Amino acid sequence: MPTLQTVRSGLNYLKPTHEVPCSYAFEPPAGTPWENCEYELLDVDIRDGRHTASSLDREGFALHTAPSRVASFAAEEQIRSVYYAECEALALQLTGGRRALVFDHLLRRADRAQLNFGRRRKGEPAAANGRIHNDYTEASGKRRLAMVLGDPAEVATVGRYCILNFWRSVAGPVRDMPLAVCDARSIQAAELVAGQVRYPRRTGEIYYLLHSTRHRWSYFSEMQRDEVLVFKQYDSQVSGTTRFTPHAAFTLPDIAPDTPPRESIELRCLVVLD
């Protein structure tokens, strides 16, 4: 299937607000809205990253060929025993870190009819998240280190660390609902808005993104099962490298109605660099 170097599609930006944005990842209590803020679907150019080079420390993302020994991503045990180790090894290879620890993963099955803002009703599989976000803020990135390591004495020995996301198709090429990632160099700090995501037993903090015409978006066409998109969600080093990579699912234009739903796995890994 031929691909275009650039497509134009809509991405959901946060509308300016005076409130702290708050949304529910699972069905909220009766009478409570899913979110207290609004988004604006804006058409942007999204280039095919296969036609240009990119890296974790420059743009904040890169595509890698990385076949997995996992026979079936439907098997939770294989994900935890095989895929976690594969991603930890790749994280160390890509960063030169001294320790890598995967701490969670999520499988998604999504078509364009399921695109939402991270909402998930009880008993339903996770759909594609069409709201632009970055999984960690300055504050929640710092908290995650203590949550993963657990031991305060060990935390005290850590200098620089980062959090990476590994995004992979688990069922053939992605022909719709791919992931768009924003070049970290095109973002200003004032455009990142810290907000809450509420879960049944905890509240997380993520960044939402305000619109700018400077933003440069990329995706990778027809990602295969043996490819993985790695992007940075947090870096404790405050200068000289990328730190945050906003991202969102989007609908490709001119896709046949019978296009198979995208099935993917995303996994987050903390990497101790020094």
Confidence at residue 206, expressed as pLDDT on a 0 to 100 scale? 97
pLDDT digits (tens, 9 = 90+) for 61-114: 999 999 999 999 999 999 999 999 999 999 999 999 999 999 999 999 876 666
Q: How confident is the model at residue 254 (pLDDT cuts 50, 70, 90)?
A: confident
Cα–Cα distance for residue pair 107/78, rounded to 1 Å: 13
Q: List own/partner pairs for 80-83 with CB under 8 A and 24 or more apart.
A: 83/265, 83/267
Tokens of 72: 């079936």
- Three-state DSSP at 258 gives coil
Between the alpha carbon of residue 211 and those of residues 85, 182, 201, 246, the distances in Å are 37, 12, 31, 12
**CA separation, residue 252 to residues 15, 109, 112, 169, 171 (Å):** 23, 16, 9, 16, 18
Q: What is the mean pLDDT of residues 113-130?
A: 67
Q: How far apart are CA 165 and CA 151, in angstroms?
A: 23
pTM for the whole structure:
0.93
| β-sheet bridge partners, residue 162 | 235, 271
H/E run at residue 85:
helix 84-95
The confidence score (pLDDT) of residue 118 equals 61
Q: In what order do the strands lie in the sheet with 61-65?
A: 61-65, 227-235, 161-169, 262-272, 99-110
Show the tokens assigned to 199: 């879960």
| Full 3-state SS string of 136-181 | CCHHHHHHHHHHHHCCHHHHHCCCCEEEEEEEEECCCCCCCCCEEE
The domain ranges of the chain are 6-50+58-272
Q: How far is residue 196 from each of residues 29, 35, 36, 94, 199, measured CA to CA in Å?
A: 16, 10, 10, 31, 10
Distances (CA, A) of 200 to 108, 197, 203, 265: 19, 10, 8, 22
pLDDT at 257: 85
Per the DSSP assignment, residues forming a β-bridge with 20 are: none
- The partner residues of 167 in beta bridges, in order of sequence, read 229, 266
Per DSSP, 52 falls in state S
Residue 1 pLDDT > 50 = no
Buried b or exposed e, range 133-154, using 16+ CB within 10 angstroms: bbbbbbebbeebbeebbeeeee
Position 109 scores a pLDDT of 83
- Which helix (H) or strand (E) segment holds residue 86: the answer is helix 84-95
Partner residues linked to 86 by β-bridges: none
Confidence band for 245, pLDDT divided at 50, 70 and 90: very high
The per-residue DSSP string of 104-129 comes to: EEEEEEE-GGG-BSS-B-TTSPB--B
